[in-house]
Structure 1
Amino acid sequence: MALKVEAEVELKSPPEKLYNMFKKESYLVPVASPNNIQAVKVHEGDWETHGSIKIWNYTSGGKTETFKEKVEFDDENLKVTLVGLEGDVFKYYKSYKGIFHYVPKGEGTLAKVALEYEKLSEDVPDPINEYLDFVVSFTKDMDAHLVKA
């Protein structure tokens, strides 16, 4: 059974800019958030095609990790889903998805971020402190980068 943890973050950038950073310019995420994301490479496909596969190198909880994902884009709803295929999270979780939904709010955006996962065993902790905090942190960094640009 899939579980979910979520957070909402108010951002200053327009939702389309945040969405497009993931869709068309995810190679800029390490520039925007170097303390969290060290690199992202296309493994299969390209930067902006639904179903492309990317490999992320990141630091979470003080540990350097990797995450291989297949990206799903929902242009109408400004929603990006990163479906986990391989990586360090699979030491703890049977399945893992990161979901980023950008909703207009005033002049800016309400970013709804979520992690959907299945634990490998009952004693595995929910990914709130380590992974959800990490996702919120680099989402804020992306916003700060876009505001400066």
Structure 2
Amino acid sequence: MAVSGAGTCKLETLEAEVEIKANADQLYKFISYQHHDVPKAASDKIHDVTVHEGDWVTSGSVKLWKYTIDGNVETYKEKAEIDEANNRVSLIALEGSHVLDNYKSFKVTYQIITPNSEGSSVKITLEYEKLNENDPPPQKFLSFAVTVIKDVDAHLLKE
């Protein structure tokens, strides 16, 4: 994991890469257009996802997630940006019960790295701007995103 940009309240990033065993195209479809199925794959973390504007498949649609992180139930209202050409899905925070307490902006991006001889992976990038210089980086949200992708991967292998 890499952290770039420290000091003043500017755009910073955290990244992780997760190896996956499921079919890369199937996983991309799941994280792009099947958000409603994520609670089935990670029910101990993600409790509900509902559409507030748009639909499940259109870039720009707005969804509300309800999840538990560090024992606390939180919400995350996001606008999805789907970039099929690059196998990338970004979830841009519009509102959040905790995530926006410390961050002026917050975006989670999942990108499927196409299969090679060593398999496929998902690159997870958090882009955020702290409200205060002393606020911690959102490491717990990156760890949470990594475990959700692992749960989705395991779920797809069972299907």
Secondary structure of 2:134 counterpart: coil
Secondary structure of 1:59 counterpart: strand
Asked whether the 8 Å contact 1:11–1:110 carries over to 2, the reply is yes
The Cα of 1:122 is off from its aligned counterpart by: 1.2
Runs of 4+, deviation exceeding 4 Å: none
Distance 2:11 2:138 in 1: 13
Number of residue pairs matched by the alignment = 148
Provide the TM-score with structure 1 as the length reference. Answer: 0.96
Q: Deviations over 1:64-85 (max 9, x none)?
A: 1000000000101110000110
RMSD: 1.1
Q: 1:72 aligns with which of 81, 105, 113?
A: 81
Is 1:32 the counterpart of 2:38 in the alignment? Answer: no
Question: Equivalences for 1:1-149 in 2 at 5 Å?
Answer: 1-87=10-96, 88-106=98-116, 108-128=119-139, 130-149=140-159
Q: % of aligned pairs identical?
A: 45
Asked whether the 8 Å contact 1:72–1:80 carries over to 2, the reply is yes
The Cα of 1:105 is off from its aligned counterpart by: 2.7
Distance 2:33 2:79 in 1: 15
The Cα of 1:20 is off from its aligned counterpart by: 0.7
Which residues of structure 2 form unaligned runs of 5+? Answer: 1-9
Which residues of structure 1 form unaligned runs of 5+? Answer: none
Distance 2:65 2:21 in 1: 25
Distance 2:120 2:80 in 1: 21
